Amino acid sequence: MTDPDPDPEPDAAIAALDLDLEEEAARLLSFGRHAAHPDGGFGWLDEDGRLDPARPVETWITSRMTHCFAIARLRGDDSVGDLVDRGVDALTGRLRDAEHGGWHSAVEGDGPVTDVKEAYAHAFVVLAAGSAYVAGHPDAARLLEDALGVLDDRFWQEGDGMVVDVWNRDWTALDPYRGVNANMHTVEALLAAYDVTGERLWLDRATRIVGRVVGVARSHDWRLPEHFDEHWRPQLDYNIDEPGHRFRPYGVTIGHLVEWARLALHLRTALGASAPEWLAGAAEKLYGAAVRRGWAVNGADGFVYTTDFSDQPVVRERMHWVVAEAIAAAWTLHRDLGGAAYLEQFERWWHYADTYLLDRDRGSWHHELSPTNQPSATVWQGKPDIYHAYQATILPLLRPAASFAGAVSVAAG
């Protein structure tokens, strides 16, 4: 393991913010510590940072928290080592399906809560394993190999250049639903895997996914459909009767547009001189569509959660993760492509978060606000994890890379 390169000196724009990003990162980590579940892994936190006893331990939360603590460990916080251990122990133990392979979506007691295997959760296992590996955890290499193997064998579809979404527990029945959300986080995971292992296969697959998704978005004037059937035909009315679904909302998910923009630029960084020209343009188009169609569209500041395909707001609540991803995307656009507008928007999004989202009384960020920017809980109850907020906070402090793990450490062989 090579010692990580030091983080770059903070940009003048960071110094101009009326906010100490290192202090904010530490505040988020302090809140996240309370997620440690007595049975192993990390649980769901309420508004006050207390474990919600009614909720199981979920793989996606455990993975995201493990990733955050591993990155913090790499950045010099030795106090989180036991939390990285806790996450890896859960992912190699109670959350893993020892009988059929892969990971349960959630467990309580000694058994799974559901009978499905989700690409979304498996992508985060890869992400957590990669971050824990570069942080030096002794079991992370085996975990990463296992997770990449399951992703490759069960979810990746070579003919489509995409991943499928949901299998049953023993891998005998595949749900016909296909979705963009799981593929987005698969790109994130594959970029981290490439940074960690140096294996070109993972970069090539991330490139294929991004290329296909960008093509779909471009063909819909950058209104990205999220839901498809088994033949990858868009299902534009999917969940029209449940528009505020946490993971599969109806219509255009504004936050995913900015998240795809950032990932496109991370991919561009990974590809270096061989990066196709369309990546930068697609990032700008996706981000621009999100800002134009999602910001303050009902008269109050904040990004709406979703719109329909004629740009009318559907779910007007403001989710913290959307602002966090807008902050991260604006910074990445500013850093990689230049331009005063992106820097101004980075500062504007941070000002909004500082004004409305940062909960300095009870900790972390409010996960949801009403259309008038008051704390609400119609889609998200409590403060489940720190992943989006933590990444947005530390990204401007890191050097350019394909992933957070790559930004804080030299890829290991």
Q: Which residues are catalytic?
A: 256, 388
For Cα atoms 303, 309, 315, give the angle at the middle one, nearest 5 degrees: 40
Strand, helix or coil for residue 231? coil
Distance from C-alpha of 52 to C-alpha of 255, rounded to nearest angstrom: 26
CB 123 within 8 A of CB 71: no
Burial 265-276 (b: 16+ CB within 10 A, else e): bbbbbbbeeebe
- Which residues face 117 on adjacent strands? 167
Phi, psi of 201 (to 5 degrees): -55, -45
Distance from C-alpha of 247 to C-alpha of 357, rounded to nearest angstrom: 21
CA distances for 46 relative to 52, 54, 241, 264, angstroms: 6, 11, 27, 33
Distance from C-alpha of 255 to C-alpha of 184, rounded to nearest angstrom: 12
CB 318 within 8 A of CB 373: yes
CB 171 within 8 A of CB 126: no
Distance from C-alpha of 314 to C-alpha of 298, rounded to nearest angstrom: 11
Q: For 181-264, list the strands marked E by DSSP.
A: 227-228, 252-253
Distance from C-alpha of 303 to C-alpha of 349, rounded to nearest angstrom: 10
Number of Cβ within 10 Å of residue 413's Cβ equals: 7
DSSP letters along 105-173, please? SEEETTEESSSEEEHHHHHHHHHHHHHHHHTT-TTHHHHHHHHHHHIIIIIEETTTTEE--EEETTS--
- From 105, 94, 81, 235, select the one nearest 166 (Cα to Cα): 105
Burial 323-334 (b: 16+ CB within 10 A, else e): bbbbbbbbbbbb
CB 60 within 8 A of CB 120: yes
